[in-house]
Amino acid sequence: MQNDIFGKCVKFTSAREIMAAGVYPYFKRIESAQGPEVIIEGQRKVVVCSNNYLGLTAHPKVKEASIAAIKKYGTSCTGSRFLNGTNDLHEKVERKFARFVGKESAILFTTGHHANLGALSTLVGKSDIVITDKLDHASIIDGCRLSMGEMVRYRHNDMADLERQLIKYPSNGKLIVVDGVFSMEGDIANMKDIVRLAKIYGARVMVDEAHSLGVLGETGRGIGEHFGMESDIDVLMATASKSLASIGGFIAGREEVIHYVKHMSRSLMFTASLVPAAVAAIDASLDIVEKEPERIRQLWANTRKMKEGFNALGYDTRTSDSPIIPLTIGEDMKAFQMWRMLYDEGVYTSPVVSPAVPEGQAIIRTSYMATHTDEHLDLILDAFEKVGKQLGIIPGGSKRVKSKSQKHRLKNDWSFPFTKGQMSLITKRWIKNLWSFKQ
């Protein structure tokens, strides 16, 4: 058949080739609850690629709340929020979240991705300009593309470039959209200067708090609390799938803005509402975040230990300022090789290769939880020390002081089955398309 629409599917062999190479890191089947340790392929792994920052996914109160919601409301609302899919739990958690982040109102979407799609495609009109950081999350880019406005981008955290973009559009409505914490780089948006420029040039500010809610600020309220400028953020998006141990996405802001989004957003109106068990988990998680601030303190203690440990080993941790700590590895092939070697040492990580990052600057993305113990963290550092030295990523000597309580042993070496040239051909055909939104 000529021009068969499925032809591209038949020709797509890259992922199968990576699988055959034994270095396929995606869609790993987890056979246990999500925590600092999980079971994969029958083996226990220490997780350093989760966004479960406060460790609430297995908290007894969160699980009990979900079970109680199922008993009362059943398993589904069977419709969209706009029609029959809103219950009193949805409205309760919206009010609670709005109070938590200091906004007048909030609306709960089924996912964080839906929240960004819905807010941006609704708020940015035909003559409006939406201005994004070049490293903003894919859901922000997708939401901008769905809008009727024009999307322009500025260089990552480059305030001079942001100002250059703002100057170009003196009479248009403008919305600056930025991640609070960037999901791969782990650095924090320069909110003080973003807000300053927004006020000068008449723009509104929207922040995606996916990786900053429950992480930044003394009480986990996000980047606004971190910088002491909550009232300067006009619209806030936050996912419930990270620190809040559930699924879903909030949009919060002034009452009239949320009222408009609520009645105009297609990704809210034309998808099923969040199931009661998930909403109840959010409700319980918000209570725990407020009542147990020591979790945030422990998260940052773990973060400092790992940042200092990696730096002492000689790793390049880039500009990370959060529990997301990327380690520069170099060649894509080496990143996949390192992922597999760490995996065999019992450490489950995430490799990120070009073009998600510049050529030759592949990373292993690591992220930490309040529930990681010192033994977990020591095992992770030991594995990275051993594998990093074997691959020539870090020098033979290091300044790291090892814990006296370490009881684990590292496993045998693993040999990589492909040459650099072979691995390059195998990976890039697929990864380039997968991460094309970053270009």
Q: Which residues of 277-294 are buried (b: 16+ CB within 10 A; e: fewer)?
A: bbbbbbbbbbebbeebee
CA–CA distance, 322 with 307 (Å, rounded to integer): 9
What phi and psi, each to the nearest 5 degrees, are found at residue 253?
A: 175, -155
242 is catalytic: yes
In the set 147, 183, 241, 367, the catalytic residue is: 183
To the nearest 10°, the Cα dihedral for 42, 303, 193, 179?
10
Query: Is residue 130 a contact partner of residue 144, using CB atoms and an 8 Å limit?
Result: yes
What single-letter DSSP state applies at residue 372? -
Residue for token pair 């990052």? 357
Biggest alpha carbon–alpha carbon distance for the chain: 67
The CA R_g of the chain, rounded to the nearest whole Å, is: 22
Residue 247: what residue type? I
Counting DSSP H helices and E strands in the chain, the numbers are 16, 13
In the set 137, 174, 242, 262, the catalytic residue is: 242
CA–CA distance, 431 with 152 (Å, rounded to integer): 25
One DSSP character per residue, 200-224 reads HHTEEEEEE-TTTTTTSSTTS--HH
Q: Which residues of 303-312 are buried (b: 16+ CB within 10 A; e: fewer)?
A: bebbbebbee
428 is catalytic: no
411 is catalytic: no
Q: β-strand 174-179 against 150-154: which pairing, if any?
A: unpaired
Rounded-to-5 percentages of helix, strand, coil across the chain: 45, 15, 40
Residues with active-site annotation: 183, 211, 242
